[in-house]
Amino acid sequence: MKKLIALLTIAISTSVMACPKLAGQYQCYDDETGYYDMSISQKGSGTNTVYTTTENNDVTVVMADNKWRTVQLGGKKTDIKSYCKGSYLHMDALINDPNMGAVKMFSKTTLTASGQLATDASIEIAGHNYPAQTTSCTKL
């Protein structure tokens, strides 16, 4: 599940407000995969913002327009909707997993003053809420 959070962390977008500048190279850590490198590029602004992330040769492109889109994240078909509010990128994600049932995730990501990419995410699996998780990546 933490791998999914990491992927969703980097696959975020916008609404009518300006989105935070997240482009850069990062080193991240989670208990499932240990340390890993991630890169984010960002083009456009407002509802034309597009984020492209690369992690372990997996490339994810998300258009930031507050519209539902279907993408592949971690090898799973995922419906996502992303938008910006203040200094945060918000994303809603829905996955229908045959083994786990309906998975819903809500996250918000920002770049802190110290250069950390910080994401807070809440997850609901088959109607059960799980404790919020925080993922942090260091900008290289």
The enclosing H or E element of 4 equals helix 2-10
- The rounded percent of the chain whose pLDDT value lies above 90 is 38
CA distance 113 to 61: 26
Q: Grade residue 17 by pLDDT with cuts at 50, 70 and 90.
A: low
For residue range 48-58, what is the model confidence (pLDDT) as tens digits?
888 898 988 88
Looking at every residue in the chain, the average pLDDT score rounds to: 83
Which CATH code, of 1.10.1060.10, 2.40.128.20, 2.40.100.10, 2.30.29.30, is assigned to 2-139? 2.40.128.20
Instruction: Check pLDDT > 80 for residue 42.
Output: yes
Q: Report residue 53 as tokens.
A: 């992330």
pTM for this prediction: 0.77
The answer to whether the beta carbons of residues 6 and 123 sit under 8 Å apart is: no
The answer for residues whose C-beta is within 8 angstroms of residue 127's C-beta and 6 or more apart is 101, 102
Q: Grade residue 16 by pLDDT with cuts at 50, 70 and 90.
A: very low
Mean pLDDT value of segment 30-54: 86
For residue range 61-93, what is the model confidence (pLDDT) as tens digits?
888 889 999 987 777 889 999 988 888 888 999
Predicted local distance difference test score (pLDDT) of residue 51 = 86
CA distance 77 to 72: 5
The answer to whether the beta carbons of residues 80 and 92 sit under 8 Å apart is: yes
